[in-house]
Amino acid sequence: MELKTQLANKALKALLYEVDVQPKPGLVDPVDHSTHLDMDVFTFIDSAVSLRPYLEEFAQAGIDFKGNDLTELFKSIRPIGIKAEKTMFAATGGINTHKGAIFSLGILLAAAGYDVDDIQQTTKKMLKGLTENDFKDLDTKKNLTNGEKMYLKYGITGIRGEAEKGYPVVFEKSLPYLKNHFGNDFGMSLLDTLMMIVSESYDSNVVKRGNLDSLKNVQKYAQDILSKGGCSSSEGHELLADMNSYCTENNLSLGGSADLLIITIFLFLL
């Protein structure tokens, strides 16, 4: 099997595995829409399957890249990402299911295609100067993205900043955690890994729908769940239900954390 096919298959698995994990506070899963009333698990499956050709394109771009300046590799995959987003919106009837995942998986697929043994360092080289370039002159720009609005309001660099640093939350926290806590119940291992991500990351989706206090509160819930033995423990399970109620009552989405779980799963499968 060609490398691009292997990588794309694992990326697609990661997209599908993430939506199947349950119960996920503030996220769509097979039993709950949480705060996402316009989508369900089938919306995410349709979206993931529609992205399959572009996952291969991202990987092939990395395989084919022969230059020395890896920022050029990143520039070369941005048009693929734009095509993937358009296809996603067509598949979902205009609903944003995987925009953040397209960004991160695209980067990591290209990095893996280029050098599967040094994905993190390749990612850092690809994205050198990303936040500086993307966030300059925002005070005069019209039609700001949500990420740009968060940067201007709170100074949060969001997924761009996390990516430019080489996804430290994933490589240094969630991926080692999943490897160390992988057990017979893969779904529960992934749910605990999601809590690790929530506890360690600055999810701009939470801040967008709420505020910085909302972020601190969901981080505290996740930390407490892990300290009580994880989601499968009786105390952890109760806290998880409380966390879900908090997210629902305050219309909070943990979409940024879900995207980091997707790439954690992808890297775990490599």
Q: Which pLDDT value is given to residue 193?
A: 98
Lowest-confidence region among 74-78, 166-170, 206-210, 215-219: 206-210
- CB-side exposure of 205: number of CA atoms within 13 Å? 23
Lowest-confidence region among 25-29, 113-117, 266-270: 25-29
Encode pLDDT of 78-102 as tens digits: 999 999 999 999 999 999 999 999 9
Encode pLDDT of 24-61 as tens digits: 999 999 988 766 778 999 999 999 999 999 999 999 99
pLDDT at 122 over 70: yes
Could you give all domains of the chain from N- to C-terminal order, each with its CATH number? 3-127+144-269 (1.10.4200.10)
Please name the residues in contact with 255: beta carbons below 8 A apart, sequence gap of 6 or more: 26, 27, 100, 203, 205
Q: Which pLDDT value is given to residue 269?
A: 98
Q: How confident is the model at residue 168 (pLDDT cuts 50, 70, 90)?
A: very high
Encode pLDDT of 57-83 as tens digits: 999 999 999 999 999 999 999 999 999
Lowest-confidence region among 8-22, 106-120, 201-215: 201-215
Beta bridge pairs of residue 45: none
Please name the residues in contact with 47: beta carbons below 8 A apart, sequence gap of 6 or more: 15, 88, 91, 92, 95, 97, 98
Distance CA 223, CA 230 (A): 9
Could you tell me which of 145, 201, 205, 153 has the C-alpha nearest to residue 173? 201
Tokens at residue 1, please?
């099997």
Beta bridge pairs of residue 29: 32
Q: Which pLDDT value is given to residue 44?
A: 97
